[in-house]
Structure 1
Amino acid sequence: MADPSPQTAPADSRRMADRILRPVARMLRGAGWLSVLAGALWPVQAAVLAWAVSGWVEGQDPLSRALPAAAVFLAVAVIRAGLEHRSGALLFKAADRTMARERAALIRREAREPSGIGSAAPASLAVQKLPLLQPWITRYHVAMLRARILPALLLALAFWHSWLVGLTLLVAGPLIPVFMALVGMAAEEASRRQMAEVGDMNTMLMERLSALTDIRLLGATERATQDFAARAESLRQRTMAVLRVAFLSSTVLEFFSALGVALVAVFVGFTLLGEITIGTWGAPLTVGQGLFLLLIAPEFFQPLRDLATAWHDRAAGQAVVAELEALDAAPRAAMLGRGEAAEPLPGPLSLRTEGAVVALGGGRVALPDLAVEAGQSLALVGPSGSGKSTTLAALAGLVPLAGGAVTVCGRRLDAGAADGWRARLALVPQRPHMPDMSLAEWLDPRGTGADPRAALRLAEAEAIVARLPEGLATRLGESGGGVSGGEMRRLMLARAAMAGGDLVLADEPTADLDPDTARRVIAALERMRAGGRAVVVATHDPALAVAMQTRVTLGGETGA
């Protein structure tokens, strides 16, 4: 990820707002005006309270004004509550829609066009950082609209009753936006640094987890622990920096708002005592007018205080958008085709590579020259990092070539042929992923509705399903909870069998399995080949490599 810039230019801010806020602008406008209307009703409640209390001070019957005042006050309160509830519902709907849109675009793009920077940054954005857009969407726009309208309305009402109170509010009010802007610059920088640190820590975690075996073998566990401790301490410092700025901002804003309210209270008090005789438009200030001014003075500052809080939310949200834009601009390897369902590519099965080269992450991976037809099996062997998984991805058209060619069914594998070619493939990934669906649905990736028993029998997986509490209706969860790793591999083979097609691509199908389970997996692959399918596996397992008809060592020779 790119380093966060120290400050967001106005053009950048507008671009970010267009990306996040414009698609939901209609809902934001509706929510904003509902909230403004709710805030504009407070002077009505304040006037009713002042009218009732002034009557009591003048010696009138308390109930003569209390009952109608209470009725009006409660009625207006119910209306305000309804307006705020509807405003909040629109805001959170807009936030949910925005986060869902950005998350779907992020996941769809990373699935089809991986950036080569690893999965930690996109995962951190999707899970941890995108939710930080919610406060920006739900608070900032409404706070800005309220700050533009409500203080001006309350200021006009204050000037109507007392030019001195109006002048006091007019002087104290603008100090809040000024200091909010000054502190906001520091808040934006602190938020950006915190977001960058969160991303760096997630990247470190993914790197250490992927190398956990090597770390333990090399005795570097203590060093890895120290690295995590240092990174966690750095994140703590970044977070505390954000909190310090937030507390500083809150202190400054509370000081000026409290000072403004206190000055109004002093003026009203001494005016009613007769000690101050200026500040009104000729007539002395009444108890009702003084109480009304005291009630609206805090509400004059409240929209400005809300805006100051939302300013921090905006800074955090823009830091997230800056990371989204940096990820948008990252170089990518686009998947061939559209990734949509298509008619299978016609013609007899054939697969050939000639001088094929894949460019990934700034490097180039040369693929071996190979040829596979129906009923044949081939093993890709070689050390970790030699390009076995990359070769499988290229054979499936999941990564584009930088040179050479892959020929499938007599035609070049390009964007026009990729979707039809994949319709003839069955993929067995190294790590399972179980969507939130029943086992029966998952076993039938093409939605044929066929009986899965034959596929389960081929993979020797019938007993696995039989012992599950709900059988084929069981939902295993994303990691396949409820079945062992070996059982999950056999279920993936059954899924590949149900997917149909002529070619099975399997990535390390026997990795980390005990000898008996590995033997079952190898036997299932052999049954698929004997049934007329071609099988290509990437493996470190000598037993699996020997079981295949042909072995290709990446960087080495081809042998039987």
Structure 2
Amino acid sequence: MRQLQKPKTFSSPTARLGAVLSVLANLIWLAQAWLIAHVLSALLVGEAVNVWGVSFAFFGLGVLRALLARQAQEALSLAAEAQIQKLRHEIVTTESSTDALSRFGGAGSIAALATEKLDAVRPFLLRYTPARMRVMVVPLVILAITAWHSWSAAVVLLAAGPLIPVFMALVGWAAKEASARQMVEIGSLNDLLADRLAALADLTLIGAGPQVIDGFARASDALRHKTMAVLRIAFLSSTVLELFSALGVAMIAVWVGFALLGEISWGTWGAPLTPFAGIYLLLMAPDFFQPLRDLAAAWHDKSAADAVQEDLASWRAESRREMLGQGAQAPAVAFQGLRLRDVEVDHPDRTLRFPDLDILPGDSFAISGPSGVGKTTLLRVLAGLEKPTRGAVLLNDAPLTDTNADAWRAAVGWMQQTPRFLGRSLRYNIGFGAPLDDEILSLARVTPVVASLPNKDLTQLGETGAGLSGGEARRVMLARALNRAPAVLLADEPTADLDADTAHDIIDALLAYVAGGGTLITTTHDPRLMERMQNVIGLETQS
């Protein structure tokens, strides 16, 4: 079993570098504001000003600020993309190398986690980390400069500033819950879409289109309501925070105006407020609140990221049964025999125990038993797609391990119960780019199927085999399994839900494969298939 651990944060060294550059870009404005205040105060008192020198300094600082801001955004963008791609690679790699059964959700939920939900982390990585660092530095620098010139202006900033993070925290609790509900709804909607698409042909045949459309309408409406709840919280909190910052700036502006007019004589450290200090304070006051406002705006991004982080933690917390091997291409091993000894597989609700088996080249086995008894699990164990909890699978008298599993699977053909195809041509779905063998097509009774299609073997198929009947799809699946002449064929319910003629064709093709020296292991409820197998193994329901 493998259990993944939750990382502490989404942060990275590149993201922290971007945040530092963002802070430096903000601090440059304080130097620019000093130049503006110097020029305006000099003009007010009639002093001479080196206009060209000040202008060059101002625009030089502006260029430097723009360059730092650009570098900060590039670093943050690279960090965000790298982090998202790393998480996406982890999800895809884990899901493709471990048992496919998951309690986290269906294929739609996994796809939503790897796509929309991870993309929701991007605004958090781009905005929240630099906003938090700016809050830790810029307001304190401005507060220190303000206190140097006027203790009363500093008191105003101290009184108004903390109200923003306090209110932000209060709103953040509601935003986090709303974001979590929205993320759950996104996963549920994706699961619903995946299920309905998989059954689209059947739903069309039974005329269930209106009901499916109504179901989608209800699900999308529920998602819309939850999305609007998140937006309402965001707009409400932004309005209140703008009010606090506007009041703080207005109070400083009123005090500076009355102080410069001489109506107020208190608030400084003994000396009257100078025009330079008053203008400088007015220019800095909005930037005291700006990092707090940025953090408040990014707080909703953090709520969404926290919801995604919880989903990732839930996904990682699952114990997964590992697939043997690395999933890499390898030369097929020469098959000499396969043995099962005391094999048991633990499932969440029970333990499956399988009989000891000795499978030699040229054998044919039928695995029978009621649904849910573990027939498909046994095939997965034999293929190395699922590692047994206890016991041993011996390939050529050596344990089946990560070392030889890829070579073993290269010698195995797999015919699953439910036909699944790629959105490519029929030719590609059988050979995956390799040339097709006419003998194999004839053996699997696919030659007449190809002849009946409009574009022959170049006909494009959908995921469920659009354009093929159920029996034709099953024949194509058999041709795929046999295309590379496997030493062993594992077939899961190859004749299930087929008419008598098609089932007879499939059985004849399987027996022809065995007669040619192949080894067949199939699960089935079909007595016609069991009668023609050399060995029949019955599995019983276990408590």
TM-score normalised by length of structure 2: 0.78
Instruction: Give unmatched runs, 5+ long, in structure 1.
Output: 1-14
Q: Which residue is 2:381 aligned to?
A: 394
* Residues 1:272 and 1:477: Cα distance change in structure 2 (over 3 Å): farther
Q: Which amino acid aligns with 2:164?
A: I
Q: Which amino acid aligns with 2:22?
A: S
Match of 1:332 among 294, 308, 320: 320
Match of 2:122 in 1: 134
Instruction: Between 432-441 and 334-343, report the one with greater CA deviation.
Output: 432-441
CA distance in 1, matches of 2:44, 2:503: 92
Contact 1:155 1:169 (C-alpha < 8 Å) held by counterparts:
yes
Q: Which residue of 2 aligns with 1:273?
A: 261
Map of 2:243 onto structure 1: 255
Q: Which runs of 5+ in 2 are unaligned?
A: none
Deviates more, 1:160-169 or 1:491-500: 491-500
Indicate which of 70, 90, 102 corresponds to 1:116: 102
Q: Secondary structure at the match of 2:120?
A: helix
Does the CA contact (< 8 Å) of 1:444 and 1:498 recur in 2? Answer: no
Cα distance in structure 1, aligned partners of 2:123 and 2:83: 12
- The answer for the alignment partner of 1:39 in structure 2 is 26
Determine which of 8, 32, 44 is the counterpart of 1:18.
8
Match of 2:63 among 67, 78, 83: 78
- Relative to structure 1, the CA distance from residue 419 to residue 277 in structure 2 (aligned partners, 3 Å threshold; closer, same or farther) is same
1:180 aligns with 2:168: yes
Shift of 1:143: 1.2
Calculate percent identity across the aligned residue pairs. Answer: 42
Q: How does 1:224-303 map to 2 (within 5 A)?
A: 235-303=223-291
1:502 to 453, 473, 487: 487
In the alignment, which of 305, 316, 335 is matched to residue 293 of structure 2? 305
In 2, the alpha carbon distance for the partners of 1:365 and 1:225 equals 40
Change (3 A) 1:529 1:174: same
One-letter amino acid matched to 2:33:
A
User: How many pairs were matched up?
Assistant: 530
Contact 2:364 2:514 in 1 (8 A): yes
3-state DSSP of counterpart to 1:426? strand
Q: What's the CA shift for 1:30?
A: 1.1
Cα pair 2:421 2:465 within 8 Å, conserved: no
Deviation at 1:504, TM superposition (A): 2.2
1:406-421 paired onto structure 2 within 5 Å = 406-411=393-398, 413=400, 418-421=405-408
Instruction: Tell me the distance in 2 between the aligned counterparts of 1:17 and 1:345.
Output: 40
Query: Deviation of residue 191 (structure 1)?
Result: 2.9
Counterpart check, 1:195 vs 2:183: yes
Distance apart, 1:82 and its partner CA: 1.9
Deviation per CA, 1:504-539: give whole Å up to 9, x if none. Answer: 224456778899988887676566445432233456
Contact 2:189 2:219 in 1 (8 A): yes
Distance between the aligned counterparts of 2:400 and 2:312, measured in 1? 32
Aligned equivalent of 2:87 = 102
User: Contact 1:116/1:361 (CA < 8 Å) preserved in 2?
Assistant: no
Residue 519 (structure 2) pairs with residue 534 (structure 1): yes
Are residues 1:30 and 2:5 paired? no
Q: Secondary structure at the match of 2:521?
A: strand
Q: Distance in 1 between the 2:398 and 2:178 partners?
A: 55
My pick for the range that moved more, 353-362 or 249-258, is 353-362
Deviations 1:85-104 (A, max 9, x none): 21111112111211222222
- Tell me the CA shift for residue 208 of structure 1: 6.9
Closer/same/farther in 2, CA of residues 221 and 404 from structure 1, 3 Å limit: farther
Q: Distance in 1 between matches of 2:440 and 2:331?
A: 26
Partner of 2:409: 422
Question: CA-to-partner distance for each residue in 1:98-151, whole Å, 9 max, x for gaps?
Answer: 122222222222233335325344333222322222222222221111111111
Check whether the contact 2:430–2:476 (CA below 8 A) recurs between aligned residues.
no
Structure 1 residue 37, shift from structure 2 partner: 1.0
C-alpha separation between the residues in 2 aligned to 1:265 and 1:478? 67
Contact kept, 8 Å, 1:455 with 1:494, in 2: the verdict is: no
Give the superposition deviation at 1:266.
Answer: 1.2
Query: For structure 1, which segment, 507-516 or 234-243, has the greater mean C-alpha deviation from structure 2 after superposition?
Result: 507-516
The alpha-carbon deviation at position 300 of structure 1 amounts to 0.8
Q: Which amino acid aligns with 1:104?
A: H
Change (3 A) 1:403 1:289: closer
Q: 1:416 to 1:159 in 2, by over 3 A?
A: same
Please say if residues 121 and 308 of structure 2, whose CA atoms lie closer than 8 Å, have aligned partners that are also in contact.
yes
